[in-house]
Amino acid sequence: MDDIKKVENFNKEESKGGTAQHVYGRLTMAALVGIVVVTIIISSLFGAIFGFMSAGAVNIFSAQIGQKFHQYFPNVTLHNIDPQVSKQQVIVEDSAIIDVVEKTSPAVVSIVISKNVPNAQNNPGNFFDPFGFDPFGNGPTPQTDGQGSQKQTIGGGSGFFITSDGYILTNRHVVDDAQADYSVMTNDGKEYAAKVLARDPVRDVAVIKIEGNGFPVATLGDSDSLKIGETAVAIGNSLGEFSNSVSRGIISGLKRNLNAGSGFGDTERLTDIIQTDAAINPGNSGGPLLDINGNVIGVNVAVAQGAQNVGFALPINQAKRIIDQVKNGTKISVPYLGVRYIVIDSSVQKDAQLPFDYGVLVLRGSRMTDLAVIPGSPADKAGIGENDIILEINGQKLDQTNQLGDVIAKYNVGDTVTLKIWHKGNINDVQVKLEERKQ
């Protein structure tokens, strides 16, 4: 029995101990829940604090990275890091254009064309550009009313100083009227009488001169190094009224060839010229086309009618020969070969049953005086005859893109060139010494 009691007593003690453990367990669970809640609150609080601090640190760090990035890569934009970068780029680009204008604008002049014309009953006095720029549809000469004539401004153009003693480069078509008077308005508002010194019969450039010294001179660049997409700035006497107007664009194309028409029905072939979307308006003819460094890369010459922002400029390197000749006081001379020809293409080859689809066929014209080869010309002296085909000049193929007259114009009087000639089934190389074309 005692043993049984002992066992019972032991069970009772064990039972008491179990109750104590259960109560302790409930207290422990409550404490744990409280600790967890407190821990969550504290974690959230410190998380917010450290999150805020880390965010600020990241922003500061990012800003520092952005500043360093733009220090070493000023032309690259990192979005969402430095919002001022694009604005700064615009300011830098604008500053570059302003520098170009300030550098060259003083050297740009307006050319005014005056002539004695019959008095008009209804002369609106509209501006007329002599190279096809007639925005109002009015010609240069008004209707007469029978009351005599008077000197009137009939047109205008632009130009720029190439020497400090008054030599000015412009387009030939601007000063092509031998019966007209020309005057120059400089950037400071002074007016000078101008004299035409030289007109290039092949390229649309001319040199005029005013009396004086100390004129600002435009810097000539290198048009052979141009790339499509480069910045271009045009300055000129827009509409013959707004002197030294500035327009900005890019080089849209190079080595363009086209036939330009004048307001008098004349046409002129322009080769290897520059295309730009910088606005070229009536009156801009003869003004400079500039690169981003303010150097003259072209002479504004024409605009495509019926199009927007399609203008053209003669490469300045084409004008350098006449500039050098005028500066040296030598006569303007242009080389010539002395043949009449048609350019061969696949259609001409088929119709005439020729052995080549390129080159030029030496051929007489429709009149008796339109000889295939001019007597006494370089071609005549070299033995070139009618129905010969000139295939190449100094290794350059002749075709619609590279026509004979355009290629010859690149050489000087006295140069010897090698012609590849097809003559009655045989191909020979012929040496020809270029001579001066008679005006």
Query: Residues 298-325: pLDDT tens digits?
Result: 999 988 776 677 889 999 998 998 888 8
Q: Supply the pLDDT for residue 41.
A: 58
pLDDT tens digits, one per residue of 202-224: 889 999 999 999 999 999 999 99
Band of the pLDDT at 181, cuts 50, 70, 90?
Answer: very high
Q: What is the pLDDT of residue 264?
A: 44
- Please state whether the predicted TM-score (pTM) of the whole model is above 0.75: no
The answer to whether 411 and 399 have CB atoms below 8 angstroms apart is no
Would you say residue 240 has pLDDT above 60?
yes
Q: What are the structure tokens assigned to 334, written together?
A: 């242009």
Nearest to 182 by CA among 117, 112, 246: 112
Average pLDDT (420-439) is 89
Rounded to whole angstroms, how far apart are CA atoms 8 and 25?
25
Q: Which two tokens stand for residue 228?
A: 């499509």
Helices (H) and strands (E) in the chain, counts: 6, 20
Is residue 48's pLDDT more than 70? no
> Would you please indicate which residues are annotated as catalytic (active-site) residues?
173, 204, 285
Lowest mean pLDDT among 83-92, 120-129, 366-375, 402-411: 120-129
Instruction: Report the distance separating Cα 278 and Cα 229, nearest Å.
Output: 12
User: pLDDT for 150-178, tens place per residue?
Assistant: 778 888 899 999 999 999 999 999 998 88
Q: Which of 299, 275, 264 is nearest to 172 (CA)?
A: 299
More confident of the two residues 201 and 134: 201
pLDDT score of 67: 56
Which percentage of the chain shows pLDDT scores above 90?
Answer: 40
DSSP per residue, 169-228? EE-GGGG--TTSEEEEE-TTS-EEEEEEEEE-SSSS-EEEE-S-S----PPB--GGG--T
Note the pLDDT of residue 136.
Answer: 30
